[in-house]
A = this chain, B = another copy of it.
Amino acid sequence: MSIQQLHDDLLRKSYPLFEDGLIDEIEETGEYRTFQANDVLMRKGQFIRSTMLVLNGLIKVYREDDEGNEFLMYYLKPGEACALSMVCAAKQEASPIMAKTVAETEVMLVPVDSMSEWMSKYKSWYQFVIETYRSRFDELLITLDNVAFRSMDERLEFYLKRAKDAQKTNTLEISHQEIANELNTSREVISRLLKKMEQKGRLSLHRNAIELKNL
């Protein structure tokens, strides 16, 4: 099977609602790329000239401020795209976010011009873009709810659940320090809260790993 054929399969599998003509155009004008785990795909301040369609793997999208604070906004799974890269690409603006792969990831880079052309040409693309905006907006609102209304133990629990769902595993390979960064708190706080949850039998702790039980 040719490489083109493989990419075509991946694209169709991840984006089953796309029309044949659209799939063809994506393959023609898009650029296929792979990234290793923990690669940084995009930095804050970088200019965006294309949108990423996730084919495989998993991406974490962060917000960063000027003092180096960061927090996790949401995950991007196959079949999804980053709404921000769409709007920034459309406006030729600098990215206000940072994106990092969680696992090995395959993406298709689509240039801005094609993007707006397809809006009127393919109903399925229009719907995909609208749906992307809607779901990213929703996820951002949920993140905002958590930061605004919830205490750190609730936020940690939500974080673990979301990581579990996104990574489809019960064993998260991550250090307390990394979790603290992504929740914008300190390592000690996370260690203490995790210890409490372990005592309640909800998870068990190992070096660089958290085994989720009753979550």
Contact surface of A with B, Cβ cutoff 8 Å: 63, 65, 67, 69, 71, 83-84, 87-88, 90-91, 93, 96, 116, 119-120, 126, 130-131, 133-134, 136-138, 140-141, 143-145, 147-149, 184
| Leading 7 A-B pairs by shortest Cβ distance | A87-B134, A120-B120, A69-B149, A147-B148, A147-B147, A90-B130, A133-B133
Q: Beyond the given A65-B145, A140-B140, could you list 17 further A-B residue pairs with CB under 8 A, ordered by the A residue number?
A: A63-B144, A65-B149, A67-B149, A71-B148, A83-B133, A83-B137, A84-B137, A87-B130, A88-B134, A90-B130, A91-B130, A91-B131, A96-B141, A119-B120, A120-B126, A143-B144, A144-B144
Would you call the interface of chain A mostly helix, strand, loop, or mixed?
helix
| 29 pairs of residues in contact across A and B, judged by CB atoms under 8 Å | A63-B141, A63-B144, A63-B145, A63-B148, A65-B145, A65-B149, A83-B133, A84-B137, A87-B133, A87-B134, A87-B137, A90-B130, A90-B134, A91-B130, A96-B138, A96-B141, A116-B126, A119-B119, A119-B120, A120-B120, A133-B133, A137-B137, A137-B140, A140-B144, A143-B144, A144-B144, A147-B148, A148-B184, A149-B184
